[in-house]
Amino acid sequence: MKKVEIHQLDFQKSGDLIPVIVQDINTKEVLMLAYTNPEALKKTIETGYAHYWSRSRKKLWMKGETSGNVQRVKEILADCDYDSLLFLVEQKGNACHTGQRTCFHNRLKLKEP
């Protein structure tokens, strides 16, 4: 597996933000999708806890800073284009702000065959 440096990531493609898929390292459950910028990613690497960029509040935030449902980042993987990331985390509590374990708890209705 190739080692990647922050400066190699393509933050410019999406306006200085990179999407981050967050997955539980033990269960492999997809917990959430968030966004990072260089500052949030550096903070994540420095502290070992997930930090993201809030698009609505326009500020850096640490996951769980108010709820206590923190994400300890165990591994970070970049995709082949260096424009999206996968955080493998140990999740404390629920990942979703609604109280659900994962943000992906709404099933989209598909057309019946």
Question: In the structure encoding, which two tokens stand for residue 79, read together?
Answer: 């995709």
Q: Which DSSP state fits 21? A: E
CA distances from 10 to 17, 36, 40, 85 (A): 9, 12, 15, 11
Q: Around Cβ 27, how many Cβ atoms within 10 Å?
A: 11
Kindly report the pTM of this predicted structure.
Answer: 0.93
Full residue range of the structural domain in which residue 18 is found: 6-91
Domain annotation covers residue 109: no
The tens place of each residue's pLDDT in the chain, 113 residues long, gives: 889 999 999 999 989 999 999 999 999 999 999 999 999 999 999 999 999 999 999 999 999 999 999 999 999 999 999 999 999 999 999 999 999 999 999 999 999 88
**How much is the pLDDT for 112?**
87
Would you say residue 32 lies in a domain? yes
Strands (E), the chain: 18-24, 30-36, 51-54, 59-62, 71-78, 85-91
The total of structural domains in the chain comes to 1
Q: What is the pLDDT of residue 113?
A: 81
- Please tell me the distance from the alpha carbon of residue 40 to that of residue 65, in angstroms, as a whole number: 14
| 48: in domain | yes
pLDDT value of position 44 = 98
